[in-house]
Amino acid sequence: MKDNEATQEMVYGIRPLMEALDSGKEIEKVFLQKGIAGKIFRELTFTLREREIPFQMVPIEKLNRITRKNHQGVIAYISPVGFYKIEQLLPGIYEAGRSPFILILDKITDVRNFGAILRTAESTGVDAVLIPSKGAAQLNSGTTKSSAGAIFKIPICREHNLKEAIQFLKDSGLRIVAVTEKAEKVHFDEDLTGPLALIMGSEGEGISGEYLKLADVKVRIPMLGTIASLNVSVATAVLLYEVVRQRETQQ
């Protein structure tokens, strides 16, 4: 990454990061140098855990590869957007008289795919997108560009415990629909109206087993050619617009 790009998206050093946290900036993730100790460092790690901000202990060589600046053992990525809590969003959706439409992304790490998914989600009326705090694509200028600005228009919920978030949605009356090639039922044969949460997994690993167990139903996209699967952003678009089609038909 070039230094001018890093300056726009990163904070270096313990005290600058603490100041950024105190000012209310959304921190996406933090890299901390292995072996650093001291009171201020302990205060920083406590704050990161308390606010459920993902951080990783890494060797100094990794930090030096990220930037040539004097990072003092701390590099933090600033998120271009603020994150929401699904527990706070969902009641407002019901109160507005809408049927909740939530998209859950598991292991979507490619920035371009993530941005494309956000663009389609905003276009199809998705109320919120849930992502895990670890193992999700980075929210940066690449995401912003590929989403065509949708990243600023659709609520993104970064969940420390995605399993608990899915259970919360179930308990709140949403049907959990997992999209997996192992399913027997094709997506257009399933009722996708009503309160709904759709889970999409990565092309390589698919949806985690613990999330599949929480699903009320599993569906697949029929593949009639020799290729086994679609790009995840395309597959997500297929499902989202099927939800739109069914809801429009029901009206």
pLDDT digits (tens, 9 = 90+) for 216-244: 999 999 988 888 778 999 999 999 999 99
* Residue 195: per-residue pLDDT: 97
- The string of DSSP letters for 105-117 reads EES---HHHHHHH
Token pair listed for 36 = 């650093």
pTM value? 0.84
| Assigned superfamily of 3-78 | Ribosomal protein L30/S12 (3.30.1330.30)
Q: How far apart are CA 197 and CA 249, in angstroms?
A: 19
Q: What is the mean pLDDT of residues 17-45?
A: 87
Q: Say how far apart CA 128 and CA 113 lie, in whole Å.
A: 17
Element (H, E) at 182: none
Q: Is the pLDDT of residue 75 over 80?
A: yes
Bridge partners of residue 219, in order along the sequence: 179, 185
- What is the spatial distance between Cα 33 and Cα 22, in angstroms, rounded to a whole number? 22
- Whether the Cβ atoms of residue 60 and residue 73 lie closer than 8 Å to each other: yes
Q: State the average pLDDT over residues 93-115.
A: 94
Mean pLDDT of 115-122: 96
How is 31-42 classified by DSSP, letter by letter? EEETT--SHHHH
Instruction: For residues 27 and 83, give the distance between their C-alpha atoms in angstroms, rounded to a whole number.
Output: 10
Percent of the chain with pLDDT over 70: 96
Average pLDDT over residues 168-172: 97
CATH H superfamily, domain 86-250? SPOUT methyltransferase, trefoil knot domain (3.40.1280.10)
Q: How many CB atoms lie within 10 A of CB 26?
A: 17
User: Domain-by-domain residue ranges, the chain?
Assistant: 3-78, 86-250
User: Would you tell me the crossing angle of helices 39-50 and 14-22 to the nearest 10 degrees?
Assistant: 40
Q: State the Cα–Cα distance between residues 217 and 179, nearest whole angstrom.
A: 9
CA distance 152 to 143: 11
